Structure 1
Amino acid sequence: MSEMEIFRGEVRAWLLANCPPSMRTPIVADEMVWGGSRLEFRNADQRLWFERMRERGWFAPDWPKEYGGGGLSARQAAVLEQEMAALGCRQPQYNLGIWMLGPVLLALGSEEQKRRHLTPMMEGRVRWCQGFSEPNAGSDLASLKTSARREGDDFIVNGAKIWTSYGDQSDWMYALVRTNNTARKQDGISFLLIDMHSPGVTAKPIELISGKSSFCEVFFDNVRVPAENLVGALDGGWAVAKQLLQHERAAMSKFTEGGAPSHDALAVARPYLYDADGVLREPVWRDRLAGLLMDAHAFTQTHRRITEEAAARMDVSALGAIMKLVMTEHEVAKYELLMQLMGHRGLSWEGSEFSAEEHDICRAWLLSKTYTIAGGSSEIQLNIIAKRVLGLPA
């Protein structure tokens, strides 16, 4: 038996012993545990699973132990992810800091920044949000206007961000700000870490079509940010942001890998495929569902292959755009099929005669539309694939 097979067996045994059965069931949005200063648990099993994974450093299994991580190799971290998926283990905590900012700080942050920020985010004590998009700078991110003017040991930040996920519940923001108005627009941007509890920061939720308010507008009115919170070089934030976006797309490509809740298409569809006697109603629905499930399986296998290539130190950065595009479009296709299959029962809402699960499907269908925009729209991903993967002329 190889060393990796032995490790896999040890991981599986540990998960079976430490992940409560209730934490091995499909998750819904209201049961997600978000790390941060407002950390809350709905039940004892959530707390136990959170604490056991935190003790192992497996919130960030491949981070160095000195920063609170698990110290695993890339291959070992992939094995852990695979075994969690095989058992249906829920993510013990959700934290954009771990998924996106953490890897950037490990690569580009100062030692002081690593010591100050990595362990608290890994332990679930600090919640992070992303301050990139602005009212007039979405897909053309380099046109952002939020300014940061140097004054002594601080930057003075003024402006606004939009579509900031959970900005009203976050403790810190990693943000792009303009620090040079005379340079080429990509060259005049810096990457700052901003304490959301600072005077002058205001976050206002935005009502979404799904009825939720996970997105916010965030306003900065003469907010003082210590200069030591600058990541990378002054006016060099564009390069930092591009590296971070690779991690964002990788995170968004993992919706069905335990990242964010996503319904099991087969489980939801089965009651609508057969009548009370177990007879298939319409074979065409079975065929369409089978095609969807095959696509999902192909995606999972491709994701694992890319993980192995990354572990072998191959450059997989450009593939993040492909995975993000495929996964988000697949989510849209899945919920469109489920809504068509469920008919009028899929268009349910609280207060109607239908079940809570049917309400949840309706909300998920509406929310899935945002996946093809957040983190870079599908059209932007296609442009990236054309240029960086296929090498087509601009």
Structure 2
Amino acid sequence: MEHELQKAGVEVVYANEPTGGTESGRLRTRRYGQVDAELYKIAMNEMSMGGQVQHAVGGWNHGIPPYPYVAVVDENAPPPTRGRFGEARPKKKLVPHPDVRRFDATRELCRLRREEHLKAADIIAILSAGPERYPIEGQWTHNRVEGLIRNPKLTGYQVYNRKASRTGRPGYSRWNPISKWVWSPGPVHEAVVSLEQWKQAQEVTAMLQAGTEGGPLLRIQAAAGRRGLTVTLVDSTGSHTRYRIGAQQVVLPTPIPDRRPADHREPGACGVSEVIECQATRRGRLWVAYEPEHGVYGSGRTLRLVRESVEDGLALVGVTAEVKIIPVTPELETLRAAEDARTTALAKAVEALALRRASRSDIALATGASVKQVKLLLARPAEDLRTQADPDSLRSDGNPLVGCPAVM
């Protein structure tokens, strides 16, 4: 301050400085006075901090009570005494809020973060959907949710010095390291969650903020949480993990493919017989198949890999069977319909030419089919050909028709 004033051409005069004398004597007196003022400020801060520490150790509250509590005067606290600045304020302790739903709402809020790994937006959606169960003045916000999850007072302990209010920016505070927090020796009010549960919630929060967890599993947990269901890991292998969602179990590949279809279509149903048939849809660069009877998903970059993935998932739930993968896309469905129409038209054309006494070789030349195909079509009734003909036999090169169900 002194240097800034000098730069501006303002003379600084200290009232306790002697007039006259040498410049060194005047500067010595000024600096001694500044040192005394600095020491006095530090001593006052230490005494104030010491009083606040004793206040927290005694179990009395600082600041506004958290959402599930109210602050009441502690009748057992030492009576307030009158000091230089008047009578001291009475000491207060935390007790549960008269509305017991607040305790339940806070406990559920913490559980959603700790067990379901939900982000604040998903928790807000759940709490806002049940205003009768989770009452709030105004509305649930990100700061309210994260502030409650972060608040260690929910463990029953009294905690002080979590934040540093003097940061040089008005209206802003910063979090102190947990090593600088002041905790009461033991619980001093009723706890919403245990200390261990609170620690677990902080670990989950840290993982969410660091981005080490997320993607499809979080979306599954959020969707299940909105329906009041929990997602619990049962067991896992190198390729799949089995989860329990409510009363059902589902087997997902590890890692879960982080791709959602553009049209949000679910994979088709799978029929279970001697061979388990599963329809596979394309999602990004992966094929994804679902077998609903056993709740098994499979994925892979190729159809062979997705078949092996489904078989591995079935093995995890004790099912050993051959899996037939049927790739499904709108374009493949269109192609299959066109191939079916061509097969029907070819059968009709062969039948019509045969009725006009055309030779098999002429029929083959006229229709573009092979003589073998013509013989097969003439050997079966047209209706049977439309419903029973093997598509593999309807190509002159002997290869399967493009777009037909592929047996892996």
Shorter-chain TM band: under 0.3
Q: Which has the larger radius of gyration?
A: 2
TM-score by length of 1: 0.25
TM-score by length of 2: 0.24
